[in-house]
Amino acid sequence: MVPKKEINVVSDMAKWKRSQAYADYMGFILTLNEGVRGKKLTCEYKISEPIEKLVALLNTLDRWIDETPPVDQPSRFGNKAFRTWYAKLDQEAEKLVSAVIPKHLADAAPEVAVYLKESVGNSTRIDYGTGHEAAFAAFLCCLCKIGVLRVDDQMAIVFKVFNRYLEVMRKLQKTYRMEPAGSQGVWGLDDFQFLPFIWGSSQLIDHPSLEPRHFVDEKVVNENHKDFMFLECILFITEMKTGPFAEHSNQLWNISAVPSWSKVNQGLIRMYKAECLEKFPVIQHFKFGSLLPIQPVTS
């Protein structure tokens, strides 16, 4: 079944919050949150064949960026070469997904591919935001539901696949100067991402020396970003933005005053629900099918 939009007016949001899709999506995010708790990106974990194949898929998307340089155009933002890059993904997505899933599950490829196509930004507006990020998490959630990814893949899903996805998204954002989708400007957490802050704060729970107040310290970030997703995000922000951190990233600056990483983690989960999953402009684009159904949760 090809997933389609179901949230068309604000009053449909209640349907989303009661849906099996919402319960499964949130359950997936929280399971991974527990799975990476207190673990470094560089630690040892199992890498299964499907994980390897997903990384290869993302490497292909990365290579296509190199093959599709930005074009000369008057406007600085939203480089139209992104549309060329996206057209390639649109055409190849099912084939890419088919290479990841075993033959006997081939029928699921068209449905799962929809989430992959939705996860890289919008080709009309040349923007990217947390709704696109959510589509990638939904893509991974679907792969779990059909049994391609398993419980013991948890750490690799975040550290290997999602981390590689972030690298490719950052390259897209930089190369094609993508606009932030539905950005709340200085009042949002970040222009583009949210999940790596959740999972990244979980990684830092009970860390012997790094506290939330340390992530605004450039030296700490430079020395530890390869181990922690949260600090990797901070590094990217400081590369992309100029001026005092407290001004361009006010919400994160406020978070640095929270006493413990577990409090940061809990707060970010609440904020993610409120600012992303319960916002109509984000969720109106979400697609529902047989793997992530709009039907209410059956208890």
Has residue 109 been placed in a domain? yes
- Dmax over CA atoms of the chain, in Å, equals 55
Interatomic CA distance for residues 151 and 157, integer angstroms? 10
Q: How much is the average pLDDT of 188-201?
A: 95
So what's the pLDDT on residue 184? 67
Has residue 9 been placed in a domain? no
Has residue 92 been placed in a domain? yes
> Cα Rg for the chain, rounded, in angstroms?
19
Has residue 3 been placed in a domain? no
According to DSSP, residue 297 is labeled P
The interaxial angle of helices 49-67 and 163-175, nearest 10 deg, is: 10
Q: How much is the average pLDDT of 267-280?
A: 96
Mean pLDDT of the chain: 96
Separation in Å, CA 59 to CA 46, 101, 133, 245 = 20, 17, 17, 32
pLDDT band, residue 1 (cuts 50/70/90): confident
pLDDT band, residue 40 (cuts 50/70/90): very high
Interatomic CA distance for residues 128 and 285, integer angstroms? 12
Has residue 37 been placed in a domain? yes
**pLDDT tens by residue, 172-181:** 999 999 999 9
Written as six digits, the tokens of 188 are 């949002």
Has residue 151 been placed in a domain? yes
Query: Is residue 128 helix, strand or coil?
Result: strand
**pLDDT tens by residue, 112-163:** 999 999 999 999 999 999 999 999 999 999 999 999 999 999 999 999 999 9
Neighbours of 77 (CB within 10 A): 11
Interatomic CA distance for residues 153 and 193, integer angstroms? 22
Has residue 12 been placed in a domain? no
Has residue 190 been placed in a domain? yes
The interaxial angle of helices 229-240 and 163-175, nearest 10 deg, is: 10
Count of structural domains within the chain? 1
According to DSSP, residue 103 is labeled G
Residue with tokens 């398993």: 150
pLDDT band, residue 185 (cuts 50/70/90): low
Which CATH number fits the domain that encloses residue 262? 1.20.120.1150
By the 8 A CB rule, do 159 and 42 touch? no
Question: In terms of residue numbers, what domain contains 123?
Answer: 17-288
